[in-house]
Structure 1
Amino acid sequence: MENNLLIKNIGRIVSGDFDDPIVVGDAILVRDGIIEKVGFFDELPLCNMAIDVRGATVCPGLIDSHVHPVIGDYTPRQRVVDFIASSVHGGVTRMISAGEVHMPGRPTGAVGTKALAIVGSKSWDAYRPGGMKIHGGGLLLQEGLQKQDFLDMYREGVLHLGEVGLGGYHDWERIAMMVEWAKQVGMVVMMHIGGASIPGSDAITAKHALMVGPDIASHLNGGPTAPSIADIEEIVVKTKCALEIIQCGNVAIIPDIIKIAKESDALNRIIIGTDMPSGTGVIPLGMLRTISWISGLCGIAPELAIAMATGNTANVYNISAGKILEGFEADLVIMDSPVGSSADDALDALRIGDTPGISGVIIDGELLVKKSRNTPPARRHLEVINYE
């Protein structure tokens, strides 16, 4: 027996791959934090440790595509501690910063915003509350940034821009040039869409998105104020960018976004985030709740809604996670229908709008959560088996 992990007796395996969302099998073999094999228990070798999930569903760890951290597991926006570690109990294993905008005294000049992005990136590389993986240092564009600055930041680990247009800098021709510089060095570009959020911000429409050309249309359902249906349709039809739906936005417009995306064969472009912490609050179950909205309110198969919160986002950021495939990082969530639900399993729970119960969260092949402190209790609980 090798020092590996075997997850067995899986009821359903959700791949996170939008084009092939269900994996045939009942077991997953993990070696050194990487998924080595997905298949049937009888075909896989014994390991030092096994997790018997007793028929529960296993899916990839959720990737929150839109978070506003600062430094450390604390948000001055709502004066809340441990919200990141708490989100692990909501099945989130990775977060992507949309900009450290809530930093007290946040610098607004070119030198300061560059320094903050580098510090944010390096800080979150070294600090993982609750095991959470955080892509920190989402650069917030400011007047005075030059082409060389983007190369400097990329070399220091700043791999994406936070929300373009967030804050008071709105020289759109110059912003479009900066975005092009960012793309040239390999950065992924988010862009604020919809009404103003923080003081100094302004409403941003499809016209601005077409001018700038982001990789992601952030919070297309509003952050928190939604754009018009006409703007949404123009962004879906006239761009190829990812279409983000968030928890802290306009719920009523989500079915319209899904309908437009479906008619445009663009459902595989939808990604899911929370946009927290914000004035709306801190919501550790925000990802699960948004998945249930998209499935329960919009008629999207739950395995596809999960792919929107995992593999679709991984594709945008070129992350080797978010999918239960051989060679990908073993960030996994074990979940089931909650006690008292009429659903038979986690997917059915999402389909009817319930929040699944999480019985386990695995990050890099290590079982970090045995029973979520935040979700309703799962109907089936896992068993850890150690073999001598």
Structure 2
Amino acid sequence: MKVAITNLGTIVSGDWHSPFVQGDTVISHDGKIVSAGTANAAAVEACDVVIDAGGMTAIPGLIDSHVHITFGDYTPRQRTVGYLESYLHGGVTTSISASEVHVPGRPRDVEGVKALAVAAQRCFADYRPGGMRVIAGSVILEPGLKDEDFVELAKKSVSLAKAGFGAVKTAYDYAPLVAGAKAAGLITTCHTGGSSIPGSGAITGDHLLKIHPHVSFHINGGPTAMPDRDFERVIRESEIALQVCTAGNLRTTLLCGKLALELDAFDRFIIATDTPTGSGIMPLGILYTMAHLASLTAMTPEQAICAASGNNARVYRLDSGFLKTGHAADIVLLDAPDGGTQGTALDAIRHGDIAAIGAVVTAGVPRFVGRSRNTPATTRKARVAKSSVMQDFAAAAH
């Protein structure tokens, strides 16, 4: 399918170093972006679907890098079906597993944790709930895992490993496990802050610097934050990615964002939700965290968007997260919410409002055009101006 989005007011690239794309059109073909910026009339006319954005803002689909996937579009923690599809209506086009730790009766032996990770990866390899891409299968690091186990997992397409829920004597015992997973090419993550569920323990700056994972999960607390003094240490003394989550401590979210800007570490600053958990299901969680950061710190709205898209894509080695030629065609149309005081999506985010969503495209396919079922209505109206596809792209009514 070839899709054009035209009449855009602003295009946010996903790259905070160069956050805007000049022009008003994005064209995708077979799931990839073929042009972002300008396009001639013939290129637009050749598309199967043309979406008139009505002056809205295009951003890369948001990447939630901390979602507690289990199996299917179901969370046993909150006993809810369909939450991933609901997150797509919050602009999230990719969810990354924070390990399948919430699977009831999850195994804790070496073969069991390997099997769980492989099964989760396989189940979501081609399954797109509501059109969302899910990166699942994160092996939970347990004592007894060997270097050859991580090599085996990598060969079976498992790309993630998580520290923080294993039966270790102290958190420092994760260091060799993380090193082994890294050597096999896995992206390593680590629970940070106070304990959250049975099996987890407190992990602070001292632990992180010894373990040195790729990503400090919910560095702002999940939900309890580590001591304030540890934030600057982790930034200055490591290259660990700094993941802040909606279901954490807001004050330390703002602290971490401020330090990331001041200490030239913004490439490592990423936004996620850490849901579904005891904090609940948050379809608009990333939109809230973006608005909090842009309205309560010196962070610009476009920087907050990039932290939830391109920064995550770089850390997790994804082909999405950017509105650039050759990248995955995951695109969200944002606007100022109807009835608000601001005129554009970026101004609304800077003001602390939740941006309204007018359309979501994933893998080059429009999933809905018109209105998200979860955000306020948009001020402007996106519409399908042309379609040769036998499909209704309107969102389901409330």
Give the TM-score band, short-chain normalised: over 0.9
2:27 is matched with 29
What's 1:199 paired with? 198
Aligned length: 385
Moved more, 123-132 or 81-90: 123-132
Measure the CA separation in 2 of the matches of 1:387 and 1:111. 50
Quote the offset at 1:59 in angstroms: 0.2
**RMSD, matched Cα:** 1.3
Q: Is the 8 A contact 1:141 1:169 kept in 2?
A: no
Show the counterpart of 1:320. 319
Does the 8 Å contact 2:258/2:298 carry over to 1? Answer: no
SS at match of 2:259: helix
Distance 1:131 1:39 in 2: 25
Q: Which residue of structure 2 aligns with residue 56 of structure 1?
A: 56
Measure how far apart 1:40 and its partner are: 2.1
* Residues 1:73 and 2:77 aligned together: no
Report percent identity of matched pairs: 42
Which is further off, 136-145 or 321-330? 136-145
Alpha carbons 1:95, 1:132 under 8 Å: kept: yes
Q: Does 1:159 align with 2:159?
A: yes
Separation in 2, partners of 1:64, 1:223: 15
The Cα offsets for residues 175-214 of structure 1, whole Å up to 9 and x where unpaired, read as 2112111111111111111111111321101111111111
Q: Secondary structure at the match of 1:139?
A: strand
CA gap 1:259/1:384 in 2 versus in 1, 3 angstroms: same
Distance 1:345 1:221 in 2: 29
CA distance 1:44–1:326, shift in 2 (3 Å): farther
- Is the contact made by 2:171 and 2:203 (CA closer than 8 Å) also made in structure 1? no
Structure 1, unaligned runs of 5 or more: none
Which residue of structure 2 aligns with residue 82 of structure 1? Answer: 82
The aligned counterpart of 1:385 is 385
Please give the per-residue CA displacement for 1:76-127, whole angstroms capped at 9, x wherever unaligned: 1111111001000000000110111110110011111111010011111132
Report the counterpart of residue 283 of structure 2 in structure 1.
284
The answer (yes or no) to whether the contact 1:8–1:41 under 8 Å persists in 2 is: no
Determine whether 1:209 maps to 2:208: yes
Matches of 1:368 and 1:309 in 2, distance apart?
20
> 1:170 Cα deviation (Å)?
4.3
Q: Secondary structure at the match of 1:278?
A: coil
Q: Would you say 1:13 and 2:14 are equivalent positions?
A: no
C-alpha separation between the residues in 1 aligned to 2:42 and 2:260?
40
Aligned to 1:143: 143
Cα deviation for residue 268 of structure 1 reads 2.0
Secondary structure of 1:334's counterpart equals: strand
Partner Cα distance (1:264, 1:187) in 2: 27
Q: Secondary structure at the match of 2:381?
A: coil
1:339 and 1:378 in contact (8 A); partners too:
yes
TM-score, with length taken from structure 2: 0.94
Moved more, 105-114 or 170-179: 170-179
TM-score by length of 1: 0.96
Residue 33 of structure 1 aligns with an amino acid whose one-letter code is G
